[in-house]
């Protein structure tokens, strides 16, 4: 087993998957993920983790995937372009034991490392083996109603904790709420006409021609 600076603590995980048919839910929040800033710890290939966040229509494409470098854990740090409300998620793994089995979710904990994951998670979920992405996992409304960053920690796969995990797709469903306040304030300021910026466009006096 390879160590990346953390211990495998454990507490009871709640089992809340809900099974539905194809396309019962829409996982469209990828449009609001700042993909260039997504980081994945313990990935075997740098940059592979962000590729599993893709349009729902591409979820069956197994070309891109992320695999853990050593042991089963993967930690995704996912920033959004504004504040969002999340309702649920979907995870597609392989048909073998490398499929993720347990995850922990953390709200607004930017740049998390494995050492930070000892804190209590906002939600823990036991996953089903779901290579087609038809299982929806509802998220707690009270926890994920207003956030700008999500961390997903995969703690085990169906082989346990010592073998590599493989993920093809992670879909998030929810809704965009509002942009960051600082950006809104700047946009509002810039939209106001400033007298000094338009002094050459404002006549000093009104002239009339008398016929």
pLDDT at res. 207: 46
Q: Is the pLDDT of residue 183 over 70?
A: no
- For residue 134, what are its two tokens? 């038809």
How far, in whole angstroms, is CA 54 from its chain's centroid? 11
The CATH architecture annotation of domain 18-195 reads: Sandwich (2.60)
Q: Please report which confidence band the pLDDT of residue 22 belongs to, taking 50, 70 and 90 as the band edges.
A: low
> Mean of the pLDDT values across residues 176-185?
75
Closest to 154 (Cα-Cα) out of 79, 99, 78: 99
Q: How far apart are CA 133 and CA 23, in angstroms?
A: 9
User: What's the Rg (C-alpha) of the chain?
Assistant: 23
Q: How far apart are CA 96 and CA 157, in angstroms?
A: 10
The dihedral sign for the CA sequence 130, 165, 59, 27: positive
**What is the DSSP code string of 3-50?**
--S------PPB---EE--TTSS---GGGGB-GGG-EEETBSSTT-GG
In DSSP terms, which residues pair with 124 in a beta bridge?
Answer: 104
Domain ranges of the chain: 18-195
pLDDT at res. 4: 63
Q: Please state the pTM of the whole predicted model.
A: 0.78
Q: Please report which confidence band the pLDDT of residue 74 belongs to, taking 50, 70 and 90 as the band edges.
A: very high
Closest to 173 (Cα-Cα) out of 92, 86, 107: 86
Tens digits of per-residue pLDDT, 189-210?
A: 555 555 555 545 544 444 444 4
Q: Are strands 166-178 and 74-93 parallel, antiparallel or unpaired?
A: antiparallel
The least confident of 111-115, 134-138, 194-198, 202-206 is: 202-206
Count Cβ atoms within 10 A of the Cβ of residue 126 and give its class: 0-12 exposed, 13-18 middle, 19 or more buried: middle
In DSSP terms, which residues pair with 151 in a beta bridge?
Answer: 77, 106
How far, in whole angstroms, is CA 71 from its chain's centroid? 22
Closest to 134 (Cα-Cα) out of 73, 88, 102, 65: 88
Pairwise pLDDT comparison (66 vs 182), residue with the higher score? 66
């Amino acid at each position: 087993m390879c160590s990346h600076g953390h211990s495998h603590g454990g507490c009871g995980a709640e089992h809340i998957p809900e099974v539905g048919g194809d396309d019962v839910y829409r996982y469209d929040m990828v449009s609001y993920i700042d993909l260039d800033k997504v980081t994945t710890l313990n990935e075997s290939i740098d940059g592979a983790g962000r590729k599993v966040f893709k349009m729902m229509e591409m979820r069956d494409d197994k070309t891109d995937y992320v695999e853990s470098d050593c042991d089963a854990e993967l930690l995704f740090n996912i920033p959004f372009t504004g504040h969002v409300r999340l309702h649920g998620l979907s995870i597609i793994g392989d048909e073998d034991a490398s499929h993720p089995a347990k995850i922990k979710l953390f709200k607004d904990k930017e740049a998390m490392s494995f050492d930070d994951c000892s804190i209590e998670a906002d939600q823990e979920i036991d996953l089903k083996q779901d290579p087609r992405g038809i299982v929806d996992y509802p998220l707690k409304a009270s926890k994920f109603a207003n956030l700008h960053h999500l961390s997903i920690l995969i703690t085990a796969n169906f082989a346990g904790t010592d073998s590599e995990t493989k993920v093809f797709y992670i879909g998030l469903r929810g809704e965009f709420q509002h942009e960051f306040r600082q950006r809104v304030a700047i946009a509002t300021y810039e939209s106001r006409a400033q007298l000094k910026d338009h002094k050459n466009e404002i006549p000093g006096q009104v002239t009339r021609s008398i016929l």
